[in-house]
């Protein structure tokens, strides 16, 4: 009798695991965007060592690149001696193929690793529902007015939008 139940359970599992475009199909996103941080216009200090941010997301590093969204959130100076900041961001995509989607991002940045690092992707909305993965970033330009981050996104997600 136990083997009958095992056969039934295995049959049900096999029938349910056939991929036919159901909601749990995984997709991957590997893309590069650029975040432009302007110290004077795209952020404001709300408390000592805590800054609200609204950095611009662009499809290229130069001034003529298209704006595709904003990195909205906050960053706080968590380690003063090492100049490390904890950053919490919603990457809100307003243009391009990801328009209407967001990524939930968290991680450290600062003077360690020569301006390079990695942030965690812990969720998403729109096309990028249930996103998880990493962002490798590198500061490619910095001066007294701001900096430009090269953002290499590697995520898995489950699109809930109908095709």
Task: With a cut of 50, say whether residue 19 has pLDDT above it.
Answer: no
Global pTM value: 0.80
Task: With a cut of 80, say whether residue 72 has pLDDT above it.
Answer: yes
Q: How far is CA 94 from CA 54, 128, 147, in A?
A: 13, 13, 21
Look-up of token digits 């049900």? 12
Query: In this structure, which CATH number among 1.10.3720.10, 3.30.450.40, 2.40.480.10, 3.40.50.300 belongs to the domain 27-157?
Result: 2.40.480.10
The residue ranges of every structural domain in the chain are 27-157
d(CA 65, CA 140): 15
Average pLDDT over residues 2-21: 55
First to last CA, the chain: 43
Buried b (16+ CB within 10 A) or exposed e, 128-159: bbbbbbebebebeeeeeebbbbbbebebebbb
Confidence label for 7 from pLDDT (cuts 50, 70 and 90): low
Residue 153: closest CA among 12, 30, 57, 61:
30
């Amino acid at each position: 009798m136990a083997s009958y139940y095992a056969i039934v359970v295995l049959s049900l599992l096999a029938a349910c695991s056939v991929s036919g475009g159901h909601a749990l199909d995984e997709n991957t996103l590997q893309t590069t965007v650029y975040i432009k941080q302007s110290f004077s216009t795209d952020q404001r200090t709300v408390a000592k060592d805590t800054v609200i941010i609204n950095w611009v997301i662009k499809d290229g590093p130069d001034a003529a690149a298209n704006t595709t969204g904003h990195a909205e959130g906050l960053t706080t100076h968590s380690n003063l001696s090492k100049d490390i900041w904890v950053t919490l961001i919603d990457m809100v995509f307003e243009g391009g193929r990801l328009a209407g989607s967001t990524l939930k991002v968290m991680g450290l940045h600062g003077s360690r690793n020569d301006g390079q690092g990695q942030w965690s992707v812990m969720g998403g909305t729109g096309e990028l529902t249930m996103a998880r993965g990493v962002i490798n970033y590198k500061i490619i330009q910095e001066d007294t007015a701001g900096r430009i981050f090269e953002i290499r996104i590697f995520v898995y997600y489950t699109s809930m939008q109908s095709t």
